[in-house]
Chain A
Amino acid sequence: MCGIAGIVNKHDGRDGSRAVVERMVSLVSHRGPDDRGIYEDDDVILGHARLSIIDLAGGVQPIHNEDRSLWVVFNGEIFNYIELRQQLQNDGHVFYTHSDTEVIVHLYEQYGDDFVNYLNGQFAIALWDKKKQRLLLLRDRAGIVPLFFSQDDQRLVFGSEIKSVLCGIGRKPAMNIAALDQIFTFWSPVSPNTLFEGVHELSPGHIAIYERGRLTSRRYWDWQFPEHGEYEAAGEDALADELHALLVDATRIRLRADVPVGAYLSGGLDSSILTCLIHHYGGVPLRTFSIGFEDDSLDESGYQQELIDHLGAEHTRILCRHEDIAARLEKTIWHTESAILRTAPVPMGQLSGLVHEQNYKVVLTGEGADEVFGGYDIFKEAKIRQFWARYPQSECRPLLLKKLYPYLDLSGGRGKAYVQAFFGAGLEQSAAPCFSHIPRWTTTSQIKMFYSDESRERLKADAVDAIRASLPEQIHQWHPFNKAQYIEAKSLMGGYLLSSQGDRMLMMNSVEGRFPYLDHRVIEFANRLPPKLKMKVLNEKYLLKQTMAKYLPKSVLERFKQPYRAPDIPSFFTGSTPEYVEEALSEDALDRSGYFDSKKVSMLLKKIKRGNAVSARDNMVFTGVLSTQIWHRLFIEDFESNILNHA
């Protein structure tokens, strides 16, 4: 990965913008500490911070075509660049480097704007066509690599991270309160929103073109599912063979690098499968990294060790203690550039720090498998609620929820009415696209009681309406399981797991993550599968498990799925509470930012100090309010020192 940044001016470009772009690049130097490059002409300035992974000596960006009429800055990897390069050379294109970046300019020459369809990779691309005076911005299909932009009537500013864009804009930013409301509903803003007013992300699978001062964008790829049940008809064995071949290839091409490649090993099924594939097919030594927790209920070290013993990997584990999270939250928010409702990203930043210390720049991760193959509890929950909705009076059907949430004691009527009230909400709308996610969103939304009157007044739209408006028309023709998958991929995965908990936590330590399960061929294959092969009764990721069972120890294959979590409130109150927490949640700071009701926050702190704040809601609101306050200080109050005058 790398960092990119740039400005396209509608009028005279040589107005001091170069120095601005240099600062923009400097702000994302953690994404690319190895080298920097700038291209400048009368209309555009492109900047690049390089993390050298392929063609270490020759891949310095910006990179151009034969006659220097096309210039590109690029963050990411084109995994099929070897094959593309060969084809392009056969067609007469002349290369001057061995980097994957160079295929972009030649592919554009060959195929025009549709060149993106030939790429297998993770990427944010800015391509300047000097002859046509147009800039193309492109982002990969799943949204692994970030890309943000802002435009006014004078120019377009873009960058890998929002801090660069803010620097390019040069004005103190304001919060996009609608995006905060979306985070406090879905855990992430609805794309293309960001928490900053006037700064947008380029949505996954989109291409934007800036030409003659006008920006247009279109979707070039999306998660598509069969309509009216027209699924892949091949038998289970044949599908398993196809899946196996796809995953082997998706893993193999993601090991392409001129530096060593490692892997994250959580101890869960998905990362275990990946490490097995690397071990059997990668042709490289297996080097793995993991994180452990003091709290046994969060720690998966036992499963990690079992697989390490099974495969004989060289493994390094780091322990995340409560005080590590407290000490790292501010730095984490500097990189997420967003409020977060759980501290779970923090240990991921600690883990990438370990990888960096061990002199690794690239890791493969198992992220994406749960979305692609249907692994999350929310899919099971939705399936049970669909089953229940067929006969809402049933006493027995909701009892299936106990299989999913064993802590729900439904025996003898204990708490049953409450469980039914919670999971039974909206049963009459079982065909609605958002049916699967309504209980989760309703629960999360309860934390909005902490909004200040001012925030309530500023909020004009309902968050759920925003996500409904973003859904494709054809979703109504999809199976309920696929509807849930789409929403999960577009909300939590794209806006949170791949960003706040993914790219941002990796790149803060100059580490590139690669995601074989999010190879678009794997996604497209899985999307054609009948839902029953993803979840057989309530057995999640059925076909994936069947396909990969031969590689895995039985205990890993059959283990209870444990969601990745980190301690929230206990991280800040087990020992002494850090000063910045007291300051961020003080009445003065809360009144200055104005987002939250300072009296309510004060009551929450009292509850925490009494030791009574144990619920998921208390933990979410604490983390949400604290991270928003830190965000406000870092990006708004300290804008001049942190962004504008960044050295």
Chain B
Amino acid sequence: MSIKQDIKTYILENYLFTDDDSQLSDSDSFLEKGILDSTGILEVIYFIEDEYGIKVEDEEMIPENLDSVESLVVFVQHKQGLKAS
């Protein structure tokens, strides 16, 4: 599966408790839609760190990086790029 599908499936299964893709668009804000709270975002960080072997720095824990499927995908790819280089 792609990073996008992995992340989307993780959010759907663990926070929306569904396998219906249509319940979450790639740009939906986790905060605005009440999908994640402040402890939920920590669980997502654990997930992407474990799954993709990256480390999320304190200053990177901002909604711009973590608040939707598409922002998470961009962020993970960016971190993987940095790691590869």
Contacts and interface: CB of A to CB of B under 8 A. Distances in A.
Nearest to B12: A603
B interface bracket (residues with beta carbon within 8 Å of A): 20 to 34
Contacts of A334: none
A600 B12 CA distance: 10
B41 A442 contact: no
A415 B61 contact: yes
Contacts of A411: 58
Nearest to A442: B34
A413 B62 CA distance: 8
Interface stretch (A14-22, A80-88, A141-149, A443-451): A443-451
B22 interface: no
Interface residues of A, number: 29
A581 B12 CA distance: 24
A261 to B, nearest CB: 42
Nearest to A618: B14
Contacts of B61: 413-415, 417
A557 B49 CA distance: 42
B79 to A, nearest CB: 17
Contacts of A418: 31, 36-38, 41, 63
B27 interface: no
A569 to B, nearest CB: 14
Contacts of A446: 34, 37
Contacts of B19: 603
Interface in A559-603: 597, 599-601, 603
A422 B37 contact: yes
A612 interface: yes
A586 to B, nearest CB: 16
Interface string B44-85: 000000000000001101110000000000000000000000
A604 B16 CA distance: 9
Contacts of A417: 61-63
A415 B42 contact: yes
B41 to A, nearest CB: 5
A94 interface: no
B58 A600 contact: no
Interface in B1-54: 13-14, 16-19, 31, 34, 36-43
Interface string A257-295: 000000000000000000000000000000000000000
Contacts of A442: 34
A412 interface: yes
A615 interface: yes
A604 B58 CA distance: 30
Interface in A434-470: 442-443, 446, 449-450
Contacts of A604: 17
Interface of B: 13-14, 16-19, 31, 34, 36-43, 58-59, 61-63
27 contacts: A412-B58, A412-B59, A414-B61, A415-B38, A415-B42, A417-B61, A418-B31, A418-B36, A418-B38, A418-B63, A419-B38, A421-B38, A421-B63, A422-B37, A422-B38, A449-B16, A600-B17, A601-B17, A603-B13, A603-B18, A603-B19, A606-B13, A607-B13, A607-B14, A615-B39, A615-B40, A616-B39
Given A415-B38, A603-B18, A617-B40, 7 more contacts: A415-B41, A417-B63, A418-B38, A450-B17, A597-B17, A601-B17, A615-B40
Interface of A: 408, 411-415, 417-419, 421-422, 442-443, 446, 449-450, 597, 599-601, 603-604, 606-607, 612, 614-617
